[in-house]
Amino acid sequence: MPHDPKPMPAAPRPLSAPRCVWAADALLGEGALWSPRTQALWWVDILGRRLHRWRWQDGARSSWEFGEEVSAVAECGDGTDGTGLLLALRHGFATFDPQDGRLTPLHRPAGEPAHNRFNDGKCDAQGRFWAGSMDFDCAAPTGALYRFDPDGGCSRHDGGFAVTNGPTWSRDGGTMYFNDTVQAQVLAYDFDTVAGTVSGRRPWLRFAAQDGVPDGMCTDAAGRIWIAHWGGGCVSCHDPESAAELCRIALPARQITSCAFGGPDLCTLFVTSAATGLDAAARAAQPLAGALFAVALDSPGLPAHRFGDKA
């Protein structure tokens, strides 16, 4: 008897037009992360070497500047000795305490080319931090997928990427999605939640030329996958199995870089963008390039996992 396919999730519905909550003029905004603990949205400007925080209650803005690129952020959980945040920096990982500004280097993977840097990253449900490296010039396929563990261990799990983005996971944790951005494709892997390993790499979604290329992404509470479109001026929402597009939200900037659910009810989609590489005409046409945006939706996302904490 043939197996009946799972029904496609319902399409989410935006409840508002995208609004700019911070016209930061970020060169390369990325790494959106909602903190339920502080009710704030963390994000980074990679090329501007800044970490930003936007507070929900009053819209208060804070920024910290670093001596190198900072590309991704996760909260440290109760299961770590670190305080504050885990950061992906240009060549490795560090903890950062926003209260006193203390940056503590933790690990730099061996064998990474000097012209590489880290890019996007996120914690899995076991509190392990996954991050991709990439060629600084976005051309050579020298990037790799790494897992950094709370005990300080670091392992390499795939390679051959010019630009990496993601990852995110299926609702049950059994599939990891990871973006091979230059090749305009989203990859899927079988994910062993206990061992923290990937296998069965396969193409899951390929972007058409007019859609740009896939950048950061996240998963909502219904298991749908949300993807930022670099060069496509939007975020799109997809069925986690078929990859069919369920929804698309246009934004007033072309280079859309990451997305994360936040707000007290996790029903606000925060979206980052970039201003790097735009000529004068493009910059004039996109005055909000590099801004942080927010869109109210009719359904929630999932809270981000914390480094060192098991869900």
| Region 266-272 average pLDDT | 98
Check residue 2 and give its pLDDT: 47
In the three-class reduction of DSSP (H, G, I as helix; E, B as strand; rest coil), residue 176 is classed as strand
Predicted confidence (pLDDT) per residue in 290-302, tens digit: 999 999 999 999 9
Check residue 1 and give its pLDDT: 45
In the three-class reduction of DSSP (H, G, I as helix; E, B as strand; rest coil), residue 12 is classed as coil
Predicted confidence (pLDDT) per residue in 175-194, tens digit: 999 999 999 999 999 999 99
Q: Are 162 and 141 in contact (CB under 8 A)?
A: yes
Percent of the chain with pLDDT over 90: 94
Q: Is the pLDDT score of 263 beyond 50?
A: yes
Q: Is the pLDDT score of 8 beyond 80?
A: no
Label residues 72-111 b or e (16+ Cβ within 10 Å = b). Answer: bbbbbbeebebebbbbbbbbbbbbbeeeeeebeeeeebee
Predicted confidence (pLDDT) per residue in 35-61, tens digit: 999 999 999 999 999 999 999 999 999
Q: Is the pLDDT score of 79 beyond 80?
A: no
d(CA 158, CA 51): 28
Predicted confidence (pLDDT) per residue in 194-250, tens digit: 999 999 999 999 999 999 999 999 999 999 999 999 999 999 999 999 999 999 999
Strand 85-89 and strand 292-296: pairing? Answer: unpaired
DSSP letter for each residue of 213-281 = EEEEEEEBTTS-EEEEEETTTEEEEE-TTT--EEEEEE-S-SBEEEEEEESTTS-EEEEEEB-TT--HH
Check residue 9 and give its pLDDT: 79
Which among 307, 290, 234, 245 is positioned nearest to 33, based on CA atoms? 307
Predicted TM-score (pTM) of this structure: 0.95
